[in-house]
Amino acid sequence: MATLSDFGAFMERFILHPPQQLPLKGLTFAVKDIFDVEGYVTGFGNPDWARTHGAAVSTAPAVLAVLNAGATCVGKTVMDEMAYSINGENKHYGTPTNPCAPDRVPGGSSSGSAVAVSAELVDFSLGTDTGGSVRVPAAFCGIYGFRPSHGIVSTTGVTPMAQSFDTVGWFARDPIILNRIGHLLLQLPDMDPVHPNRIIIPDDCFQLLSIPSDRVTQVLFKSLEKLFGGEVVKHINLGDYVNDRVPSLKHFMDKSNEQKEYNIPSLVALSSSMRLLQRYEFKNNHGDWVLSIKPDLGPGISERIWEAIRTTDEKINICHTVRNELHAALTSLLEDFGILAIPTVPGPPPKLQTEATKLETFRVGAFSLLSIAGVSGFCQVTIPLGMYDNLPVAVSLLAKHGSDGFLLNLVESLYVPLKEQIKIAESMNY
């Protein structure tokens, strides 16, 4: 019945809510300067690139997806030039300050995206990961970072680096938001978490750590045991497994490396295969531009880019064979609900402006670990484990290609037990 208070306009009063609220409403985010945003130049980390390219005429689908879900974009972030570094240093735009360790590199190439999340400037951010550019800065800045299964999230509107490895990834401070972003970008249905039926611990990979391995493994093991029991944990030597199951790696074996303590020869070979194909695809994407513009490039990056320009197609077919063999080998190892736990990187972030020669040992170990998901195309999440000696500690979990939802749900379920174990570890300083 109409009343005086509504001016007699209504037959009946009721409220109909929209069928669902926008899932990311109220959240803020930033995007790496590798994503197209309509009306803005995609700078690709280098002023010569920005100077020679016009404004984007459309916005990358990954960015549109989070905008349409209600999130607010607050800007673009600094990145390493042409995405060709895992350090996070940029001589043109400055190096974003690592909130966890201001005298250390933030990690790259998605440096600004990781720093913006770690410094609580945004709730989440988008980056890209080709050789490690989400996983490394997440580890160095003490936050969560997710590299999805290769080819699952659209890279349209993202400046390519090397298409065989390029992925759109994202950062968050907690796994709940990480999972929400993942469900949106991966278009996943809501599903109950599934318990892993095996958790593979490659002891040889944890021996690469420069900090006591117990500081990583014990926090992880105790959290996993609390949730799933100890019987699901299996120990292996991943280097031997890969050596036996990926025969094409023999073309990339370097006998001179086998006696060095920090090496796992089969994973060093895997890294060599990945970086060769990466150089070749980078050259095909950007070689003409580099040769014609001769851009001003920072130290380390300049050498890598010009090495890529000189790359030929020798062994490229073998690189693709290695990818297929590793994908099959790790699929057999993990099956549907298996998890592989590895260090994300071999140690804490290096100091700012460390000479490239001094970083070589770190890079060899880092790319040995990073190439596992990179070459197989599997999904990987970086999980922060607090601080050791006032520097951030992290671990990674991998699941088979297409198991992104399973992995994201698992990480969310680990959140509380991990917090408890991190608190214990930090109080005991182990």
Active site residues: 32, 109, 133
**How many angstroms separate the CA atoms of 418 and 15, rounded?**
43
**How many angstroms separate the CA atoms of 175 and 270, rounded?**
30
Residue 206 contacts residue 365 (beta carbons within 8 Å): no
Q: Which two tokens stand for residue 404?
A: 């992104």
**How many angstroms separate the CA atoms of 162 and 160, rounded?**
6
- The residue with tokens 């980078």 is 282
**How many angstroms separate the CA atoms of 147 and 149, rounded?**
7
Peptide bond into 109 cis (omega under 30): yes
Q: Which two tokens stand for residue 62?
A: 């990954």
Q: Which residues are registered as beta bridge partners of 128?
A: 168
Q: Which two tokens stand for residue 364?
A: 């060899």
**How many angstroms separate the CA atoms of 88 and 96, rounded?**
7
**How many angstroms separate the CA atoms of 126 and 118, rounded?**
13
Q: Which two tokens stand for residue 162?
A: 């090397």
Measure Cα distances from 361 to 75, 253, 334 in Å: 35, 17, 29
Phi and psi torsions of 30, nearest 5°:
-130, 160
Q: How many separate helices (H) and strands (E) can be counted in the chain?
A: 13, 10
Helix H or strand E segment including 48? helix 47-51
Integer-rounded Cα radius of gyration of the chain: 22
**How many angstroms separate the CA atoms of 97 and 116, rounded?**
10
283 contacts: CB under 8 Å, gap ≥ 6: 308, 309, 311
Q: Which two tokens stand for residue 314?
A: 């020798």
